[in-house]
Structure 1
Amino acid sequence: MKRAELAVAEILADFVEREALPGTGIEAAAFWDAFAAIVRDLAPRNRELLAARDRMQEQIDDWHRANGAPSDRDAYRGFLREIGYIVDEGPEFRVGTSGVDPEIADVSGPQLVVPLSNARFALNAANARWGSLYDALYGTNAIPEDGGRERRRSYNPQRGAAVIAWVRTFLNDAVPLRGTGWTAARGFSVKGGALTVALERGTTRLARPEQFAGYRGDAAAPTEILLRNNGLGIRIVIDAGSTIGRDDPAHVSDVLLESAVTAIMDCEDSVAAVDAEDKVLVYRNWLGLMKGDLAEEVAKGGRTFERRLNPEAEFRAPDGTPFGLRAQALMLVRNVGHLMTSPAIRDAEGREVPEGIMDAMLTGLCALHDVGRNGRRANSPLGSVYVVKPKMHGPDEVGFAVETLARVEAALGMAPLTLKIGIMDEERRTTVNLRECIRAAKDRL
C-alpha cells in the first residue's frame, strides 16, 4: 500500500492506522509523511555506517594477512587509530539525562528479557515485579530434599517449616527487630506511624523504623505489611484463614519480594521477527502493554483463564495516606540494530527500510499511549520511553541512533529527550571507544 513515499505492507498499514494511531492525536497522513522524511534523510546515513564497518574490517583483515597476530601493541593501536577504529577521547563530561524512573536511576534489581512476539511471556515478565519467597524456596533446591523435606504431590509440612525458618532468618538479616527475632512475632499493628510487633509478652519495633513503608487493611490488624531494604520491597502477607497462616504464630501466610523491577521487551535477540506479519505481532503486543489492555488466554492445570497486567496494589503509608504500590516491572523495549532491513516497508527506490529506524518510529508511536499528552503514565510515571539499542559499532553509530530518536520525537510530538537509550556494550569498536559512545548519548543515556 502506498503511504507518502513508502510502500507499506497492508497488514502493517492497517495496524498503524486502526490500532496504534487512534488516541494519539496524530493523523495518518501526517504520520506517514514524517516517517517517509525520516527514511529519506536517515536511511542513506544508515547504509554509509554499514559500509564503514565493512571498509574497516577489510583494512583489519589485510593488516593481519600481512603482519599476523600483533606483537607490538602500540603499533597495532596506532594502526587502529589511523583507520578510525579507535577515536581520540575528548575532555571530561557529565551525563545529563533527566526524567529517569527510579527503577533505573536508583534501584539495583533483577531484570528479565523476553521475546515481545509472545504475549504470555511478555505478560509474565511485566507481572514479575513481586514474587512469593515461600513458593520460590519450596519449589526449588534452595531447601535440601532430605530428612523428610522432600517435595511431594501434596503439601509437605516438614518442608514448609524449613521454608518458614529460612525466611525468618532472612527477615532477621534484612529488616531486624529490636531485641528479638522474627520467630517471636505474634501479630502486627500500626500505631503513630510506626510498625508495632506483638510478642508473647510485650511488643517491639523495627531496629530501623524507616524500613516500614506501608500497610494494607486496618491499622489495628493489617492484612499486609510493606517493608524496604536497599530500595527493594518486602511484603508480609497476614491471613489467619490460609493453610500456612493459620498455623503460623503471627498468621503470616506468605512473604513477597520485589523481584523483576525492570523487563526488556525484546524485538531483537530472543525473537525472529522480520517480515510484516511478525513485526505487527511484536508491535501489537508492545501497544497492548503501553495501553494496558494486553490479554492472553492461558490453559494451566486443566483450566483456562485470561492473563492481564496486574493492577496496582492499594496500600497506606505509615501515616495512613493511601497510595498505589506498583505491581508491574518497568518495561524497556529492545529495538534491532542498524544492520537489519525489513520488507515490511520499502522506500521510494524500492529498497527495504532499515529495521532499526522502523522499530524506533513504531515502538515510539505505541509508547505514546503511555507517555503522550493523553498517556496513562502507568509504565513510566516520569514520562520516559526506554529503548535498548544493540550491536552498535562505535560513537558514530551511537550518534546516529541518538539522531534517529530525536527525529522520531519530533515526528510524534514527544517532548525532546523522552526516548532514552541503553547502549549495549557488545561490539569491540564500542568497547574500545566506550567513553566516546557514552558522550554521544550523554543527555538521553
Structure 2
Amino acid sequence: MTERVAIGGLQVAKPLHDLVQNTLLPGTGLEAAGWWTALEAIVTDLAPRNRELLAKRDALQAQIDAWHIARRGQPHDHAAYVAFLREIGYLLPEGPDFQVSTDNVDPEIASVAGPQLVVPVNNARYALNAANARWGSLYDALYGTDVLPEDGGAEKGKGYNPARGDKVIAYAAGFLDQAVPLASGKHAEVAEYLRDGATLVAQLADGTKTALADPSAFVGYVETDGALKTFLLRHHGLHVEVQLDRKHPVGAQSRAGVKDVVLESALTTIQDCEDSVAAVDGEDKALVYSNWFGLITGSLTAEFDKGGKSVERALNEDRAYTAPDGSTLTLPGRALLLVRNVGHLMTNPAVLFGAGAAEIPEGILDALVTATISYRDLKGLNRLKNSRRGSMYIVKPKMHGPEEVAFAVELFGRVEDALGLARNSLKIGIMDEERRTTVNLKECIRAARERVIFINTGFLDRTGDEIHTSMEMGPVIRKGDIKNAAWIKAYEDWNVDIGLACGLRGRAQIGKGMWAMPDEMKAMVATKQMHPLAGANTAWVTSPTAATL
C-alpha cells in the first residue's frame, strides 16, 4: 500500500512529496504550499481538457476504422479518403506562411550541427555518460569499433596493439586533412606542431614549415612550461582538440607526438522520462526527478565496478584554453541537456486527485517538476550551467495534431506562471511521430511558434502509428519494405521541407531518427551522412562512441 500525504485535493506518494519538500524546493525561494496549490490548480483546469483530447483521438480513429470497413474489398479511392479526412477534422486547413520567433536558444540547438544522444534518466551511470559525451576520443572510438578492419595484424585484442594503433593514427590524420587541412602537406607528414604567437605552425618531416589552410581555425591551446601540450581547432562550429605527448605509448608512435584527437561530439542529450523509462509509481518518479535534479545541479554521481576497481562518475567540468589573443577560452564540458517529458496519454499514481482519487496526467506532473528543477539553472543558482541563454528544453512526444501541441504550450505557460518564469522560458521539441502530426505539421509548428526548438522524425513510432491508423485498411507490408516505401521517404522529406519553410533554420533543430545498430559503426559512418545531406542538423545515436564517430 502506497503511503500518501494529503495536500488540498491531492494525495501525493510520500517519496515524491519528500523529494519536492526536502530537495527540489529548498534554496530556490519557491514556497512549498504555493507550489502544491499551483499543481492542484493546473490539474483542476487542464486534466479535463487532456481527457477531451484523448477522447478525440479515439473518436477520429473509430471514424477512420468505420470508413475502411465499409469499403472493404473495394479499390482504395485516395481522393475520397483525403476528402473524408478533411470532413472529419483529421486533416486540417493549412494557414498562411509564417516564421517561428523562438528566441534565447543555445547555439547547440540553433546554429551548430551535431549528434544527439537519448538516454534513460533513471539510470544514473547512463545519464552521466550521455551528459559527458560532449567530448570523445576519436582514437578510442576508432580503436574499439569495426570502423577499422582487423586485418594485417590489426586485431583489437585485450591489450594495446601497435599495428592497430598505426591505423588509428593514420585515420585521424586523414580526418584532420579533411576538416582542418594544412596550407601545404598532410597532417600525417607533420613532425612537430608549434605555436608562433597567434599562429599554429606545422613542421613537416622534410623540415619545411606550414600553417593551417584557414589560420582562423586555430582557436586555443594549452602549454606546460612553454611546451605546447594541446591545441584546439574549430570547423563548422565544432571543436577538435589535439593532444601532444611523446612520452605516452600512443604519442610516441605518432610522428608528431599526437597522443589523442578529441572531438566535440554529442552537442545535445535528451534525458528521457518516457520511452526508455518505466516509471509506474511515486517511487519510480522520485528516482527520475532526483536524477534530473542531480544533472541540473551537478550533484549526480554513480559508482560502479570496472575491472575489479570501484569507479565514481560525475559530471565533467568545463574545458579551459588560452585563446590565440591571450585571453581565456572556456568551452562547455557537457552536452546541452533536454528532457523528454511523458506525452498526453499516460496517467500516474504518484499523485491522485479529487473525490475519486484519480491518477493525474503524468505529462502535467512531468512539466511542473522538471521545470522546477531547471528553475535553478534558469536563475543561475548552480555552479555548472546547462543553458547559457536562460531556456529550458522539453521534448514532448506522441502528440496528435495542432490541438495537442497547443495544449502542451498552454501547460508550459501555466508552469511558467506557477514558477514566476518569463513567458517562453520553457521551449518545446515536437516529435513528428504520429500521422495526425505529420499531415498537419505546419499547423503544429504554428501552435508552438514562439517555443519550438526541435522537430524530428522516427521510423518505428511513425510506422507504428501508420499501421494503427490504417489497421482496417488491409494487410501491411513488411518492415524492410516499409523503409523503402514512397510514403516513408515523403514523410522524411516533408518534415525537413516544412521545418525550413517555417523558419527553423538558426532557431531550432531538424532531427532524424536513431541509428539502432550499436555494433555496426562502420556502416553508420558510411551512411549516417544521409541525414545532414537530407537537411537535418542533428540525428540520434546510441552511444558516446557513436556520437564521436
Q: TM-score per shorter chain, which class?
A: over 0.9
Alignment of 1:125-144 (within 5 A): 125-144=130-149
Please give the alpha-carbon distance, in whole angstroms, between the structure 1 residues aligned to 2:183 and 2:146: 32
- Does the aligned pair in 1 maintain the 2:118–2:272 contact within 8 Å? yes
Structure 1 residues 70 and 36: alpha-carbon distance in aligned structure 2, compared to 1, 3 A threshold = farther
Cα distance in 2 for residues equivalent to 1:269 and 1:88: 31
- Answer with 417-426 or 176-185: which moved more: 176-185
Aligned to 2:447: 440
Matches of 1:291 and 1:92, distance apart in 2: 41
Relative distance call for 1:70 and 1:211 in structure 2 (3 A) is farther
Q: Distance in 1 between matches of 2:130 and 2:269?
A: 6
C-alpha contact 2:297 2:384 (8 A) present in aligned 1: no
**Distance in 2 separating the partners of 1:82 and 1:422:** 29
How many angstroms does 1:45 deviate by? 0.5
1:115-143, CA deviations, whole angstroms, 9 ceiling, x for partnerless residues? Answer: 11100000000011111111111111211
Paired positions, count: 445
Give 2:98's aligned residue: 93
CA contact (8 A) 2:298 2:384 kept: no
Q: Which residue pairs with 2:69 in the alignment?
A: 65
Cα contact 2:220–2:329 (8 A) shared by 1: no
Q: What is the letter of the counterpart of residue 425 of structure 2?
A: T
Equivalent AA in structure 2 for residue 353 of structure 1 = I
CA distance in 2, matches of 1:149, 1:182: 22
Q: Give distance in 2, aligned partners of 1:130 and 1:277.
A: 33
Among 261, 265, 268, the residue aligned to 2:274:
268
User: Which aligned segments of 4 or more residues in structure 1 are displaced greater than 4 angstroms?
Assistant: none
Aligned to 2:412: 405
CA distance in 2, matches of 1:145, 1:89: 55
Out of 251, 259, 267, the position equivalent to 2:265 is 259
The 5-angstrom pairing of residues 189-338 of structure 1 reads 189-200=194-205, 201-218=207-224, 220-338=226-344
Distance in structure 1 (CA, Å) of the matches to 2:228 and 2:377:
33
Distance 1:51 1:30 in 2: 32
1:376 Cα deviation after fit: 4.8
Alignment check: 8 A CA contact 1:191 1:219 kept: no
2:167 maps to which of 138, 162, 166 = 162
Distance 1:374 1:131 in 2: 28
* Displacement after TM superposition at 1:375 (Å): 4.7
2:366 is aligned, of 359, 368, 382, to: 359
2:61 paired with 1:54: no
| Among candidates 40, 43, 48, match of residue 44 of structure 1 | 48
Alpha-carbon distance, 1:70 to partner = 6.5
| Structure 1, 185-194 or 233-242: larger mean CA deviation | 185-194
Contact 1:266 1:334 in 2 (8 A): yes
In structure 2, distance between residues paired with 1:64 and 1:312: 57
2:423 to 409, 416, 419: 416
C-alpha spacing 1:278/1:227, structure 2 compared with 1 (3 Å): same
Is residue 290–residue 366 contact of structure 1 (8 Å, CA) maintained in 2?
Answer: yes
The match for 2:113 is 108
Task: Report the counterpart of residue 153 of structure 1 in structure 2.
Answer: 158
* 1:8-54 residue CA offsets vs partner (Å, 9 max, x unmatched): 11111100010101121101001011111111110110011011111
String of CA shifts for 1:210-248, please: whole Å, max 9, x gaps: 211211125952211111122211110011221111332
Q: Are residues 1:3 and 2:7 paired?
A: yes
Question: Which amino acid counterpart does residue 433 of structure 1 have in structure 2?
Answer: N
TM-score, length basis structure 1:
0.97
Counterpart residue type for residue 39 of structure 1: V
Which amino acid is 1:113 matched to?
A: V
Identity of aligned residues (%): 56
Please state whether the residue corresponding to 2:247 is helix, strand or coil.
coil
Give distance in 2, aligned partners of 1:130 and 1:377. Answer: 17
Unpaired stretches in structure 1, ≥5 consecutive residues: none
User: Are the structure 2 counterparts of residues 81 and 70 from structure 1 closer, same or farther at C-alpha, using a change threshold of 3 Å?
Assistant: farther
> In structure 2, how many angstroms separate the alpha carbons of the residues matched to 1:195 and 1:203?
10
Deviation at 1:62, TM superposition (A): 1.3
Structure 1 position 26 matched with structure 2 position 30: yes
Q: Distance in 1 between matches of 2:432 and 2:267?
A: 22
Q: Per the alignment, do residues 279 and 168 of structure 1 end up closer, same or farther by CA in structure 2, a change over 3 Å counting? A: same
| Distance in 2 of aligned mates of 1:51 and 1:237 | 58
2:410 is the counterpart of 1:430: no
Say if 1:340 and 1:355, in contact at 8 Å, map to a contact too: yes
C-alpha change, 1:111 and 1:36, in structure 2 (3 Å) is same
Provide the C-alpha distance between the structure 1 equivalents of 2:401 and 2:246, rounded to a whole number of angstroms: 59
SS at match of 2:232: strand
Structure 1 stretch displaced more, 358-367 or 373-382? 373-382
What letter matches 1:331 in structure 2? L
Q: TM-score, normalised by structure 2?
A: 0.79
How far the C-alpha of 1:191 sits from its partner, in A, is: 2.7
Give 1:377 deviation, angstroms.
6.2
The whole-number CA distance in structure 1 between the counterparts of 2:451 and 2:384 is: 19
Deviates more, 1:208-217 or 1:331-340: 208-217
| Cα pair 1:234 1:258 within 8 Å, conserved | yes
Contact between 1:11 and 1:277, CA under 8 Å: does it hold in 2?
yes
